[in-house]
Structure formats: C-alpha cells, structure tokens
Structure 1
Amino acid sequence: MSGLRIDHESWILVGDGEKALFFRNEGDADYPNFEVLRVLEHENPSTSDQGTDSPGRRNDGPGSHRSAMEETDWHTLEKHRFAKEVADALYKAAHAGRFTKLVVVAPPMTLGDLRKAFHKEVSSRVVAEVDKTLTGHPPHKIERILSTKD
C-alpha cells in the first residue's frame, strides 16, 4: 500500500514490460476515480520462441580452446524496447500539454528503464514512483492500492 494523494487530473502510468495502462484521476486526492485513457500492449513471446539460433562460440586465444557465448535474452530486450515506446508516448502527451503531474507505477526493472528513457519534459512532471506490478488489476483496485496507507 502506498498512501499516495493523487491530485485531480493527474495522470497515472501503470506498466510492466508488456502492458501499459494510462489513467487520469477524474476524482480528487481523497476520492480517486481513475479513467482509462489508453492501453498499450506489446506481444512478447518467450526467448525460446523468438530466437532459434544456438549461442555463438569464441576463440579464447592460441590453441583450440573455444568458449560458448551467452544466449541473447530476446524477451528481456523486448521489455526494454517497450519501456522506450511508453516513454515516447508520454513525451508526446507532455509536449502537447495533456498532463502536468504523473505518477509512475511499475516493477523495478521497468521503472529503471522508464527513468532512463523519459525526456526531461516527462521526468519534470513525475510526482511519485511506486515499484509494484499492478497491470493485472482493475482500475478500482489500483485506486485502492495506491491511495490506502499501510
């Protein structure tokens, strides 16, 4: 539980590496009412479904010793790319003046990716960050989780 006070018309991004929910608080800080503005979903199959090549090998120097390279984690790479896509969507909305305050809710890895990808026009509007995965919850439950104190 976070105990956040989210002002009227603030935007709330609830995301993870595969889904992003954009809300606007139509209520007030005491009685939030999240209206869904947009949903972005990114199909991200498992790494085994995306990459079929076997890991590469490299020569470790003179002689015949060779080491296997680590296999590329395509699933995680797609999560990083999706965070950039979400950050770009928020930049366009911020640049158009559609929001002045933003609450970001995401698991730690996604939160870090978003921080790196946010343009200063977006990061200057972030009023709170919550490191939770809430994309599977309906809006009324997200409202309750974010506004209820421990």
Structure 2
Amino acid sequence: MARLKEGTWVVVTDSEKALFIRNLTDHQDPNFEVLGEEAQENPSDIEQSANRPGRMHDGGPGHRSAMDDTDWHELAKERFAKDLSDILYEKAHKGAFDRLVIAASPQVLGVLRAEMHKEVTDKIIAEIPKTLTNHPMEKIEEIIKAELVDQ
C-alpha cells in the first residue's frame, strides 16, 4: 500500500494544465503545497484548423471523398504530456523528489507512461486515473489520501 510521506511530490494534470505539489506532512493529515504550475493554451480544433478538409477522387467518375484534417487539438494534448514527462525527468535528475504520485486522466496517463524516463518511473509510488485539476486543494488532498488507501 502506497502512503504519502513528507516530501512526496504529487503531479495533478490533465491535457492542458499540470500542478506540481509537495506534501508537507504525513499520510494521516496531508497538507499540500503547490510548487508550480504548467499550462498550455489549446484552442478547439476548429479554431486551429486553417482550411476545410481536402477532397480526393474516388474510383468512379464524379466520385469524391472528404479527407480527415489533422486534429491539432489532440496533437497539442499529446505534446503537453510529452513536455510534462521531460519536466519530470529534469526534476528527478536534479533530485527534487524521491517519491511521486501522478493523478491524471487515463488518456494522459497512457501518454505519460510511454514517454517517462526510467529515472522518473522508479520514483512513482502510485498512479491515480482521475482528472483533479479543477478541484480545490482540500478536495485533492482528500481524494489522493483515499485513493492511496485503496491501492
């Protein structure tokens, strides 16, 4: 069972925002301090697309099909998770944390798992597949504590 200890880092993230948090106390009564925040502005795909989708000729005379346009919004989400994995590697390499809890949406967790360096993954004590970025800090403390008890 994973438990919060003094100094444990918690990263709460979705695909556009990440909070870097340190626990100042113990598991019984967690007290989180926000160390920093990373954010990315990611407008909807329609706002980022320059043109209407292209068309291509199909097999028969006069047949044309629409082609899918690049989903810039989704690409930006994946890029944010990759950038976050780089930040975590840099912090881990500098010895900023020994223990790490990551709370993120399942999609972001998947990208992070694929991108994180072994130096970071070795320090992870728990992964929580939930989006908590818009919760107040007291609620995040409560949810993280409860999730760690269940693991």
In the superposition, the TM-score normalised over structure 1's length comes to 0.90
Q: Number of residue pairs matched?
A: 148
Q: Could you tell me which of 134, 137, 140 is aligned with 1:139?
A: 137
1:144 counterpart letter in structure 2: E
Q: Residue 26 of structure 2 aligns to a residue in which SS?
A: coil
1:120 counterpart letter in structure 2: K
In the superposition, the TM-score normalised over structure 2's length comes to 0.90
Over the matched positions of the two proteins, sequence identity in percent amounts to 51
Q: Residue 46 of structure 2 aligns to a residue in which SS?
A: helix
For residue 71 of structure 1, report the CA deviation from its aligned partner.
2.3
1:111 counterpart letter in structure 2: L
1:129 counterpart letter in structure 2: E
CA RMSD of aligned residues (A): 1.8
- Tell me the residue number matched to 1:106: 104
- In 1, the alpha carbon distance for the partners of 2:63 and 2:43 equals 34
- Tell me the residue number matched to 1:74: 72
- Which structure 1 residue ranges, 4+ long, deviate > 4 Å from structure 2? 61-64
- In 1, the alpha carbon distance for the partners of 2:113 and 2:86 equals 12
For residue 52 of structure 1, report the CA deviation from its aligned partner.
2.4
Q: In 2, are the aligned partners of 1:4 and 1:146 still within 8 Å (CA)?
A: no
Q: Residue 6 of structure 1 aligns to a residue in which SS?
A: coil
Q: Deviations over 1:27-53 (max 9, x none)?
A: 111111111011011000001111121
Query: Which residues of structure 1 form unaligned runs of 5+?
Result: none
- Tell me the residue number matched to 1:35: 33
- Tell me the residue number matched to 1:95: 93
For residue 62 of structure 1, report the CA deviation from its aligned partner.
6.9
